[in-house]
Structure 1
Amino acid sequence: MDKREIFKESRDELTGLLDKPAFYEWAQELIDDADEGSNYAFIFLDMENFKQFNANYGFEKGDDLLKDIAHILRTVFDSQLVSRFSGDHFVVCSDITQVVPAILEVKKQVKSLQQDINLELKAGVYLYDGEVTNVIRCTDRARIACASIKKKYDIDYKFYDAELGGHLARKQFIIDNLVEALANKYIQIYYQPIVRSLTGEVCGWEALVRWIDPNKGTVYPNEFISVLEEYHLIHKLDCYVMEEVISTFAKMEKAGMREAVPVSINLSRIDFEIIDIASYMNELLDKYQVKKELFHLEITESALTKNPEFIREQISRIRNCGIKVWMDDFGSGYSSLNVLKNYEFDLVKIDMEFLRGFDVNDNGKIILKHAISMLKNLGFHTLAEGVETKEQYDFLRSLGCELIQGYYIGRPVPLEEGCEQMHLAGRDFEKLDERHFYNKLGLIDLLKQNPLRHVTSQKSDALPLAIGIVKNKKWSFLYINDAFQEIIDLHPNAQGSLESVEEMINTYKSGPGPLSMFW
């Protein structure tokens, strides 16, 4: 079969460009036959905000955009090797000397295609110098250069250099050493506490990972998670984490340790493509004979953008097995409201970005207030992550946000250390029977509009509201709103103190009911 026939059979179906295998084959042949002094450039191109374009205009329009971009690349890089690798990623192998003008021309023409979405073309360039003779590694270097300027809107292109070379070396270390790290438990599970805002008690943990190599030291998740996802190795890590966590908490539960509160485990979209999560979890739970309600699975919002129907089906299967599924990073993407409409989750974790600039203006506070109210009315439990100050904690508690996580509560540490820190901080661990009660209580929307607003305090549109419980034959208040506090301030015997109110109620001996006497 001659080259022309091979080319016909090796095109990307959508754009007609070379597919990845054909590009590798042809580009390898080019550099193998290159004379000394030949100039080749590998250019990796990525469309920033393409997912948002798809979300706004649909996949059909997105496909049309990709075909238009392919036409632009064919025109600008005439007679060069041009390929579509996947999604909105394109790669060019060119012998032209004016690489930058060509990139800027492509960027200019792509800009003319955009509608209301700000499409940004990013390009990474690796200039072939004979040092690396493997075309895949040449392309990887261009990809790394491109990735280094992602979200940097003032930079259009980046040439691969020695600094980025160090990044490539770290990437190769991760790929080459993952199996050994798992076998020798160099990858350790750290736990970050989650507390219930009404009680301040620890009601859960999030399992996180740290790679502590005996020679290289600590490798943080932001360094290795994306690499493992890129090379479809992330399922090895996540399966390891699931088994480590389940085996650890099975021992704790059997020993009757009160610290055995539920644990959430993070999943990647890639996991669903490679393994059957529901079946794997069930196998582990059967193996270690532990309750399902001790474990929750977290899925990031961004994981739902590709193959949504398949992911929706997998989430449903997991929940039907009795395992709760949480949505992580709500508010960090472009289609959060559609996600809430189309998927079934047990809890939504509110992205920490809403807390940025908390002390500067009220915009984040307004968004949080309405987001929490909306989530509760949709039947989702709520958790705010990234809480760093008491002011943030108190504000979220006043909104009725159920669960709180962040450095204000505790940092991710080994489990034993985390338990000790919580004990030293005076935090109790929530009991199972209490958990069911508080979960039901947590779905109450404390921010609903009051139809009797004309009879309430001038300072607030809400009726006086309090949540009180009876425990060991004593009343205590878990929550009061501002309007209720105003009444306490006016009561002659309360002295503005909630503790005084609790004491009056608990020491009242006769007459009408204990609460009616307060009014």
Structure 2
Amino acid sequence: MNKTPLQALIIEDDPNDVELLLLELRRNGYEPNYRCVDNATDLADALQQKWQVIFSDYTLPSFDGMAVLSQVREKDPDTPFIFVSGTMGEERAVEAVKAGAQDYLIKGDLKRLPTTILRELRETTARRDRRKTEARMRFLANYDELTSLPNRSLFAAKLDQAIEHARKTDTMLGVVHFNLDRFRDINSSMGQKTGDQLIKRIAARLSDNAAQDDIIARTSGDEFAVLLPNIRLTQELLDRIRSLYACITEPLTLSGYAMHLRASLGASLYPFDSEKAEELQRNAGMAMHKAKQDGGNCCRVYKAEIRNTFYERINLERDLDQAVIAQDFSLNYQPQVELASGRMLASEALIRWVHPQKGPIRPDLFIPLAEETGLILPIGLWVLREACRQAQQWRAECGIETPRVAVNFSAFQFRQRNLVDIVKDTINEYQLEPSFLEVEITETALMQDPEMALRILAKLSNLGISISLDDFGTGYSSLSYLKRFPVDILKIDRAFIHDIDTDEDNAAITRAIIAMSERLHIKVVAEGVETRQQLDFLRNEGCDLVQGYYFHRPVPGKELNALLTCKNPFAAQFGPTPTSASAVPAVPAAQD
């Protein structure tokens, strides 16, 4: 019969007792591969090898059983340790089990030996699995699984220690937070596996280039924290941040692609920005967000102004959330005028928010905040519904064909897979023909996910809804996009119109856009028309429609009723060119 191999270490000074133990093992189906030792030196050498089970006498010439057990457990916490002794006694046996032994057998009475071995080999596997699980839990409590860098919790503990050291040595320390710009785009376009590889490469690069006392942590997704201790001069902090930035943004090749990395960094300095760890981290985080708001690919060092701006933003976000719940917004409408006739063919719906304490909040402040927080979805739905409601009311009150209402859609809204159904349900609810609605989207928003945008725009166009490409000329401006996407209208950005009569480059760009659109059978709307000179230029170049303060400022819907009852309400403003500045309507410098 085949016997089961058993790696056994026997700690015994009596050869007869060793033979009796081996005989009993063989009789029960084991073939021991064993080593016998009887002193601490040989035991230390034997413990360099892995054993399945360890048998030990309790009374030995050079040391006792508890000393043996202690030496074994210091080296190996899991291997079954079984005392085989005739002099141990129950009291000592209990003490031994508490100290880490698994069992106690009496010499000359080894009946329990086979069941004890089976049980302990099985329990050893469970013990080792449990110990691995506990070790992994301890690791994950302090380290990031992907990069093996310290996590947020351990970084905070290290920062506390570093602050205490800096206090004792009268030195400074820097805290830097950074994340990768456009990391979400990399994850979306190349997959999470590639994104994880990028994070690991960045972590390895930082570790390889860090000074001996630097602490690098991964605090979340693509965000890292770096502790720079032992700083004597402020300039030293700036130099180390520059070196850190260069390390992060050095190009690398991943999955066959050459990547030019960008990052936003924020830094704070102990003790000037704070003497508390939590505040130092918070200040560095606020500085990092400031770098993001400034366009990314830069570093910002904390200043009190950043904190004030950050808190204002937090408060504004809270108030915006309440405004969404209360639907505390309104829409103004600005006419789009056909140059050939002076008719109002459309009006752009422009959202307004009047804060109960702060008064009117500019859209360029709260719309980006709404997009960052996801509030743009309920806001966008409200705008769509309110614009359609106003169009229905115009039809009921004015009794004539209602001009199109142009509604701005953000890139965030175009990530909604049910967007087309939302639009369809809304126009049906207000009993509007699809032709009364115009959807405006910017070039930049369009290109965040071109394929999804193409599918959505095609469905909207098939319904009969007009598609307008806003801010044209400031983004990608590729003819291939105009050929692929069902675009009905191009809106020339006001940046080109503002000084069109004095800036030759802007004039040339505007001419080119109008000429190109005519060949593609796309209508053109020029935004931001404020002067007669701008109007004359656009009319001479064959622009289709204009929008701006020269004709009408944005107003609540009911204030356009009078214009809707006129056939050509703006025809009078196409008269002879004014001969004096006083004939040009006064307009503010900025508009929506």
- Shorter-chain-normalised TM-score: which range? 0.5 to 0.7
Match of 1:145 in 2: 290
Q: Report if aligned partners of 2:471, 2:491 keep a CA contact under 8 Å in 1.
A: yes
Match of 1:264 in 2: 406
* Cα offset, 1:205, TM superposition: 1.0
CA distance in 2, matches of 1:176, 1:383: 36
Which of residues 352, 374, 391 in structure 1 aligns to 2:494?
352
* Cα offset, 1:407, TM superposition: 2.2
* Cα offset, 1:402, TM superposition: 0.9
Matched, 1:41 2:175: yes
Match of 2:58 in 1: none
Q: Give 1:316-465 correspondences, 5 Å limit.
A: 316-334=458-476, 336-419=478-561, 428=569
Change (3 A) 1:399 1:288: same
CA distance in 2, matches of 1:357, 1:17: 56
Q: Render the CA deviation track for 1:158-214: whole Å, top value 9, x for unaligned.
A: 223222223212221232123431344432112122111111221111111121011
CA distance in 2, matches of 1:107, 1:407: 46
- Counterpart amino acid of residue 80 in structure 1: I
Q: Report if aligned partners of 1:259, 1:419 keep a CA contact under 8 Å in 2.
A: no
* Cα offset, 1:276, TM superposition: 1.9
CA distance in 1, matches of 2:200, 2:527: 40
Change (3 A) 1:340 1:9: farther
5+ unaligned residues in a row in structure 2: which ranges? 1-135, 168-172, 253-258, 576-592
Which of residues 226, 243, 257 in structure 2 aligns to 1:93?
226
CA distance in 2, matches of 1:306, 1:6: 37
Matched, 1:104 2:242: yes
- Counterpart amino acid of residue 274 in structure 2: D
Q: Report if aligned partners of 1:384, 1:403 keep a CA contact under 8 Å in 2.
A: yes
Q: Report if aligned partners of 1:28, 1:134 keep a CA contact under 8 Å in 2.
A: no
Change (3 A) 1:31 1:77: same
CA distance in 2, matches of 1:311, 1:149: 27
CA distance in 2, matches of 1:140, 1:259: 54
Which of residues 239, 251, 273 in structure 1 aligns to 2:393?
251
Change (3 A) 1:113 1:71: same
- Counterpart amino acid of residue 339 in structure 1: Y
SS in 1 for 2:315: helix
SS in 2 for 1:388: coil
Match of 1:207 in 2: 349
Q: Render the CA deviation track for 1:278-313: whole Å, top value 9, x for unaligned.
A: 111111112221222111111111112322212221
SS in 2 for 1:344: coil
CA distance in 2, matches of 1:26, 1:230: 29
Change (3 A) 1:25 1:131: closer
Matched, 1:218 2:360: yes
* Cα offset, 1:264, TM superposition: 0.8
The TM-score normalised by the length of structure 1 is 0.67
CA distance in 1, matches of 2:384, 2:159: 45
Match of 1:187 in 2: 329
Percent identity of equivalent pairs: 26
- Counterpart amino acid of residue 44 in structure 1: F
Q: Report if aligned partners of 1:301, 1:327 keep a CA contact under 8 Å in 2.
A: yes
CA distance in 1, matches of 2:290, 2:260: 22
Match of 1:80 in 2: 215
Which of residues 388, 400, 425 in structure 2 aligns to 1:283?
425
Q: Report if aligned partners of 2:489, 2:523 keep a CA contact under 8 Å in 1.
A: yes
Q: Report if aligned partners of 1:45, 1:124 keep a CA contact under 8 Å in 2.
A: no
CA distance in 2, matches of 1:71, 1:177: 42
Q: Report if aligned partners of 1:357, 1:364 keep a CA contact under 8 Å in 2.
A: yes
CA distance in 2, matches of 1:170, 1:5: 36
* Cα offset, 1:365, TM superposition: 1.4
CA distance in 1, matches of 2:148, 2:450: 27
SS in 1 for 2:412: helix
* Cα offset, 1:72, TM superposition: 5.2
CA distance in 1, matches of 2:479, 2:207: 38
SS in 2 for 1:255: helix
Q: Report if aligned partners of 2:163, 2:275 keep a CA contact under 8 Å in 1.
A: no
Match of 1:491 in 2: none
Q: Give 1:166-177 correspondences, 5 Å limit.
A: 166-177=308-319
Q: Report if aligned partners of 1:261, 1:429 keep a CA contact under 8 Å in 2.
A: no
Q: Render the CA deviation track for 1:92-116: whole Å, top value 9, x for unaligned.
A: 33244444212322455678759xx
Q: Report if aligned partners of 1:195, 1:403 keep a CA contact under 8 Å in 2.
A: yes
SS in 1 for 2:382: helix
- Counterpart amino acid of residue 239 in structure 2: P
Change (3 A) 1:372 1:77: farther
Task: Report which stretch shifted further, 330-339 or 121-130.
Answer: 121-130
* Cα offset, 1:137, TM superposition: 5.2
SS in 2 for 1:212: strand
Q: Render the CA deviation track for 1:56-113: whole Å, top value 9, x for unaligned.
A: xx989x9899998776545445653355977xx7543324444421232245567875
5+ unaligned residues in a row in structure 1: which ranges? 431-477, 480-519
Q: Report if aligned partners of 1:347, 1:383 keep a CA contact under 8 Å in 2.
A: yes
Q: CA RMSD in A?
A: 4.3
SS in 2 for 1:303: helix
CA distance in 1, matches of 2:316, 2:514: 39
Larger Rg: 2
* Cα offset, 1:392, TM superposition: 1.3
CA distance in 1, matches of 2:339, 2:542: 8
* Cα offset, 1:366, TM superposition: 1.6
CA distance in 1, matches of 2:402, 2:485: 29
- Counterpart amino acid of residue 175 in structure 2: A
Matched, 1:197 2:373: no
Q: Report if aligned partners of 1:326, 1:347 keep a CA contact under 8 Å in 2.
A: yes
Change (3 A) 1:197 1:335: closer
- Counterpart amino acid of residue 391 in structure 1: Q
Higher RCO by CA contacts (8 Å cutoff, separation 6 or greater): 1
The TM-score normalised by the length of structure 2 is 0.59
Q: Give 1:292-307 correspondences, 5 Å limit.
A: 292-307=434-449
Task: Report which stretch shifted further, 62-71 or 308-317.
Answer: 62-71
Change (3 A) 1:125 1:409: farther
CA distance in 1, matches of 2:566, 2:160: 65
